Structure 1
């Protein structure tokens, strides 16, 4: 029987690296990943010698033919690549649309002429307007910023084009650092670092999210992958993927303080309107994850447990 092939697009990013490590660990599949700039990170290649690296530009599709030529048609494509900083999307809407709507990637996968590929796409909670709590998948998408708009456009493109897909609307993903450390600031580590200095820090009390632990996010992707590879039955699913807790930045910081024993008196509560971030930010995009737990039987861990696991992992490296 032919080996099953999984391609992780944006594999050198935060979620991508955690996913690659889990795929390599599980064995049984051939794994490749794409990265955008220069050479793939050496620590990642050293840690995962079985994973094949390809340089590819998602906007143009340059580099994808090399994947076809030497890796072949993937049975599963996981698209983790995006411009995910809302402000960056706001300042360059054309780049946001070109990168975040994976048209070249989808068209490439359709070019194999059969529907043997499951397309798993990372979307965002920012597709919701943010005016109520616990959004459900069928609620209207009314994004307030360009990042959310580009992700809504991506969802529409994928559902119209792909015969088998899973769209995962993810909240803030947090957890331990990656094999090859990513440049972006990681939320729990950043909070731990500023609180450990004992200086007063401002945190928003009026913006709510359902942060999801990275290993839960990976488990969701692995579960969908396994299901597709085992029976090949058509999958067309849209899922909210968040943690079980609706928390503000303030409550996130309080959880870090609780785990590390810092004084909560240095955590200063401020409204989100006190800072101009150069981009509109939805106030409450907490998500109902009933469909996730019912469809896949996965129950994400609480934010407090996730913080504990993150900081324990950091302490042991």
Structure 2
């Protein structure tokens, strides 16, 4: 490995943060993706989410093999590139080019929460240069980091679904969109935008049926899990997890009404690996099994 774990003068520690997600694409799969006409332009090679990353950091004297995008949604950290050292807090985004020395790490007193991915491909260096030109350098500030964090989450979800061509293309699309967001919104002055509730709900709609933990969702929009639960209950009358179930069930009803998919296939399409559990959940909410719902729905349309 070409990197060491650092903590800006603190002792070494292995990665491992409660609630973290981290995925690495095998090098053989990366090489294959770089021969595909779409992912040849941009391929995500690694991606992750590190919440409250105590004593986390990296020092790469020769740089990384791929380019990096890292977005801080909570806490504080630092980044060093060349002779410059930057403080990074909520909204901080780092776009670090491949093969350039750099180091970064979490604050000791208020460790950051990071959403990140490594990327390569024929267009990757151009995207990095465009980001630096738009934002004034490798480190910038986003008025609202939640949309970019949401896109990183979507890239993680895509890779987590399996190393198929479709999943790698989906991850590449999310990564491209995330970098475009940084290019378009970096260094903007604070101003009005969506509320934390609106940003959280938008992420859940965009990523359904994938499940996002309350902790990850809260960090994305700059709230604590208890605060996020409270505003969901107050404004929508449900918890974030219940909101996700409602989105899944809405999709299930659409599939039962509009397709001939078997119930097991509907379960898979709505994020349930166990068809029996899906049927129990559906019956609990709708008062009838999915098959009975389909029969009644078909009869009502006749």
Specify if TM > 0.5: no
TM-score of the superposition, structure 1-length normalised?
0.26
Higher relative contact order (CA 8 A, sep 6+): 1
TM-score of the superposition, structure 2-length normalised?
0.27
- Larger radius of gyration between Structure 1 and Structure 2: 2
